[in-house]
Amino acid sequence: MRSNVLVTGGAGFIGANFVRHMMESTEEVKIIVLDSLTYAGNLDNLSGLNAARLKFVKGDITDASLVESLFEKEKIDAVVNFAAESHVDRSILGPAAFVETNIMGTFVLLEAARKAWNSPEALESARFVHVSTDEVYGSLGETGYFTEETPYSPNSPYSASKASSDHLVRAYFHTYGLPVLTTNCSNNYGPYQFPEKLIPLMVLNALEGKPLPVYGDGKNVRDWLYVTDHCKAIEAVLDRGRLGETYNIGGRCEMQNIEIVNLVCSEVDFLVELDEGLALRYPYEEPRKALIKYVTDRPGHDRRYAIDCQKIETELGWKPEVTFEEGMKQTIEWYVTNRSWWEAILSGEYLKYYDEQYGNRG
């Protein structure tokens, strides 16, 4: 059992869900969140948690002296590295931040861990879990799945930067014996996801009666994983994963984008029809499918991702538990209930990005 877990990017979507999960599933672990609070980081994501077991440090993972001093001061014996620039569309608009945070930031963390865990005892008990993506494997055709043996073939600046960080993590195991593990997971959804990503973007636009921008023909396929299932998988890897291994994590739930958008429309129609208050707040006369707008495709848009997660299922006894239907219901209800969370985001600097991204997409 680790005592002082450094969670980088813990104020973001998956990181915050992971912190919440760890606070519930463990009793004594202390969590130190290191997050620079970029546009995607939000302290509200961590509100209401037990301050005695959670320390928040605002800082950048590329800041070597800060990271090294944290390892020493907080006696860090485990790292779960979520901190990243995480959005493919932004990586197309401006790749530099992706190279800086995702590659250099991971390098700084690995170096700090190597310096801090410099005895056989420390190397025996410490763990460095690096959270990565299935996008490093590239794009699939109609059939087949990504396994842990699939060669890397990243296509976007985002996935290329994550692939580079995965290679560094691997090299630190082989060269220095650093106790690392890497996870490559599919698309997550659930509470606290920043509304630039497909599902929350469609939910909020559907509620507000705004166009629903579907890229290309809408038939690109992603595998969807409910975020709490992902958090449980990471905890299993942290506790029981074999050092130096990589684990694919997926929801066994392939969906075309257009199927998801259609489902969001019917679920939002249904919720609004049931509730007079919602109907008054979000008036829209037609079925919300009328809002769907096919727009110019994303450059280099990967066609299909699908994960074979047999290894983590058989080795660590993890499997996804939340069905897509149930997860979507919970997610949509969360966004409907937590209006102030997303209103604060939609009224800020995000608007500029939204206009830039969607303004010219004919």
Residues near ligand TYD (CB under 6 A): 88, 187, 197-198, 201, 213-215, 220, 222, 257, 298
Among left, alpha and beta (phi > 0; psi -120 to 50; other), residue 232 is alpha
In degrees and rounded to multiples of 5, residue 47 shows phi and psi of -70, 150
Per DSSP bridges, beta strands 187-189 and 221-226 are parallel
The smaller minimum CB distance to ligand TYD, of residues 85 and 235, is found at 85
Evaluate whether 172 touches 183 at the Cβ level (below 8 Å).
no
Per DSSP bridges, beta strands 127-133 and 54-58 are unpaired
Report the nearest approach of ligand TYD to the CB of residue 85 (Å).
12
Report the nearest approach of ligand NAD to the CB of residue 196 (Å).
9
Given 135, 254, 267, 302, which residue is catalytic? 135
Examine residue 262 and tell whether it contacts ligand NAD (CB under 6 A): no
341 burial class (0-12, 13-18, 19+ CB within 10 angstroms)?
middle
14 makes contact, choosing from ligand TYD, ligand NAD, none, with CB < 5 to 8 Å by partner type, with ligand NAD
Report the nearest approach of ligand NAD to the CB of residue 105 (Å).
5
- For ligand NAD, the binding residue among 22, 32, 35, 233 (CB under 6 A) is 35
Examine residue 235 and tell whether it contacts ligand NAD (CB under 6 A): no
Q: Which helix (H) or strand (E) holds 273?
A: helix 257-274
- C-alpha–C-alpha distance, residues 114 and 137, integer Å: 28
- For ligand NAD, the binding residue among 71, 128, 194, 324 (CB under 6 A) is 194
- C-alpha–C-alpha distance, residues 154 and 281, integer Å: 43
Q: Pick from 176, 166, 174: which is nearest to 130 by CA?
A: 166
Examine residue 254 and tell whether it contacts ligand NAD (CB under 6 A): no
Cα 265 versus chain centre, distance? 24
Given 137, 145, 158, 192, which residue is catalytic? 158
Q: What is the DSSP string of 155-201?
A: -SHHHHHHHHHHHHHHHHHHHH---EEEEEE-EEESTT--TTSHHHH
The smaller minimum CB distance to ligand NAD, of residues 187 and 246, is found at 187
Report the nearest approach of ligand NAD to the CB of residue 6 (Å).
11
Q: Which helix (H) or strand (E) holds 265?
A: helix 257-274
Report the nearest approach of ligand NAD to the CB of residue 247 (Å).
13
Q: What is the DSSP string of 145-158?
A: -B-TTSPP---SHH
The smaller minimum CB distance to ligand TYD, of residues 12 and 241, is found at 12
Q: 135 catalytic, yes or no?
A: yes
Task: Say how many C-beta atoms besides its own lie within 10 A of residue 298's C-beta.
Answer: 16
Examine residue 220 and tell whether it contacts ligand NAD (CB under 6 A): no
Evaluate whether 185 touches 233 at the Cβ level (below 8 Å).
yes
- For ligand NAD, the binding residue among 78, 126, 185, 199 (CB under 6 A) is 185
Q: How many residues bind ligand NAD (CB under 6 A)?
A: 31
The smaller minimum CB distance to ligand TYD, of residues 76 and 202, is found at 202
- For ligand NAD, the binding residue among 91, 101, 228, 262 (CB under 6 A) is 101
Residue 185 pairs in a beta bridge with 133, 249
- For ligand NAD, the binding residue among 29, 37, 123, 255 (CB under 6 A) is 37
Q: 166 catalytic, yes or no?
A: no
84 makes contact, choosing from ligand NAD, ligand TYD, none, with CB < 5 to 8 Å by partner type, with ligand NAD
Examine residue 261 and tell whether it contacts ligand NAD (CB under 6 A): no
The smaller minimum CB distance to ligand NAD, of residues 154 and 288, is found at 154
- Residues with a catalytic annotation lie at 134-135, 158
Residue ranges binding ligand NAD (CB under 6 A): 8-9, 11-15, 34-38, 40-41, 60-62, 82-86, 101, 105, 131, 133, 162, 185, 187-188, 194
